[in-house]
Amino acid sequence: MLANFTVSYYDACIMSDSKNLDPELLEIFVCPVTRSPLHKEGEYLIGEIGGLKYPIRDGIPVLLAGEAELPEGFDSLDEFRQKYSG
């Protein structure tokens, strides 16, 4: 079953660009750190809690904490996690 999801996710991302991410995919994406929903702003998916900004590259969301841009006021991902991880 996971393989089918992976193929479907890949196909959806390839067929869309960053301006046209599938709304159904946006509904299931969450921030890997806070588990909060994400919303799209420009070329980023942004966590509703904490505001980590995940880039969208070549139409594919990069949902890796190490690739996310930190919101103002944080110097490290560890500092962010201390505040927002449950």
What pTM was computed for the model?
A: 0.75
Better pLDDT: 10 or 47 = 47
pLDDT in the model for residue 64: 97
Residue 7 has pLDDT above 80, yes or no: no
Which helix (H) or strand (E) segment holds residue 10: the answer is helix 2-15
Collapsing DSSP to helix, strand or coil, 74 comes out as coil
Collapsing DSSP to helix, strand or coil, 63 comes out as coil
Fold of 2-84: N-terminal domain of TfIIb (2.20.25)
Q: How far is CA 79 from CA 53, 60, 62, in A?
A: 16, 27, 21
How do the domains of the chain map onto residue ranges?
Answer: 2-84
Q: Tens digits of per-residue pLDDT, 23-80?
A: 888 889 999 999 999 999 999 999 999 999 999 998 889 999 999 999 999 999 999 9
